[in-house]
Structure 1
Amino acid sequence: MPSVRKSSAPGPLRTAPAPLARKPAAAVVLGLVLAAGLAVGGCEYTYDDGRWADPADAEQTVAPAPAFTRDPLEREPVSEAELESWVSRSLPDTGDPVMYAAAGLLAAGETRSETTPVVGTGTYALALACRSQRRVNFTVRSDALTLVDLGLRCGINRENVIYLSAETALTVTVDARTGANYAYRLRRL
């Protein structure tokens, strides 16, 4: 194995750090490169204001209608005299045979329960509508089952498809925490 010799003579030692050489030309060049990179790499926002569009395309473009807030009085219950008009607008006639329909006014905290005549087996559409500042609860039951249990937000009509496997009368219960109009219609499909 080769032997390694260690030198006994010490090397030159520095006692003070070497002065740094300043190069002002390099700093100027670096600053210019960074500035150019920022100028070239910057973001630009552009949009189409329609000035350069084809006039034939402009006729097809339709501006959106302004968005208005909802009128809070639009959900206030109507009077007994206006009830029939509201029902015809809310639940328009579809031409299908109507098995049972009802509408009315509810006072705050009132619950109303009605029973339909016996309806045969088959598929039915149950349309529900209400007009109130708050939700109105609809519960529809047959002899054996709860078919619909719904807190309906007024202003939105709802139509549920139900299937009756036996002849039965339906019990419709409607309740509201505030004054409300309600309407429902059962039609055979």
Structure 2
Amino acid sequence: MHTVQAPLVPRRTAAAAAVVLSGLLAAGAALSGCEYVYDDGRGPLPSATAPTFTDAALPQDPRRNLPVSGAELDAWVEQVLPETAGQVFHTGFGLLKAGTTRHESTGHLPSGTYSLTLACKSARRVSFTVRDGEFALVDLSLRCGTSRVNVIHVSEDSVLSMEVAAQSAANFAYRVSRI
């Protein structure tokens, strides 16, 4: 049976390696304490008594979803129903009391494709139903604070009936324009 002995490392080499390693560690510790400082003209940092902000989002105005009337209603309609490139056939808007439903009609629409923009302003959703005779073209509950654009097609000359319902006081607006 043969045994192989590992060559022994001379003590002098091991001691030299230990000295080099400790020298590198000391140099690293000395360099980690270095800091580059310059004056950027912004002044001192705020003290610990300054308020800390944890959320970058700004709170929303609690009144932004409250229904309006008069000139405020007109301004809101201008904002949520911007100008369109197509021919506008009908625009409707108004104020609904809580738990009420409003029925309107668009007047005569020639056959074609239309853009129907819907918007509302309320603390709760508002329901819109648009019918061509007995056929419902749009039936949705819209989250207020957004506008919704639907593309509808009227195959023959028609009058659309609009139904708007709200569980709480609400503003509504809609526009029918030809594409």
Structure 2 length as normaliser, TM-score? 0.67
1:46-65 equivalent positions in 2, closer than 5 A = none
Matched positions, count:
126
Give unmatched runs, 5+ long, in structure 1: 1-50, 52-64
Larger strand share, 1 or 2: 2
Cα distance in structure 2, aligned partners of 1:180 and 1:88: 17
The answer as to whether partners of 1:108 and 1:179 remain within 8 angstroms in 2 is: yes
- Residue in 2 aligned with 1:91? 81
Determine helix, strand or coil for the equivalent of 1:85. helix
Q: Who wins on radius of gyration, i.e. which is larger?
A: 1
Q: Show structure 2 runs of 5+ residues with no match.
A: 1-35, 37-54
Supply the RMSD in Å over aligned alpha carbons: 1.5
4+ aligned runs moved over 4 Å, structure 1: none
- Report deviation, 1:66: 3.0
In the other structure, the counterpart of 1:145 is 135
Distance 1:161 1:188 in 2: 10
Counterpart mapping for 1:9-158 below 5 A: 66-158=56-148
1:40 corresponds to? none
* TM-score normalized with structure 1 length: 0.64
1:67 Cα offset (Å):
1.2
SS in 2 for 1:116: strand
| 1:176 CA drift (Å) | 0.2
Percent same amino acid at aligned positions? 48
1:70 Cα deviation (Å)? 2.1
Contact 1:80 1:105 in 2 (8 A): no
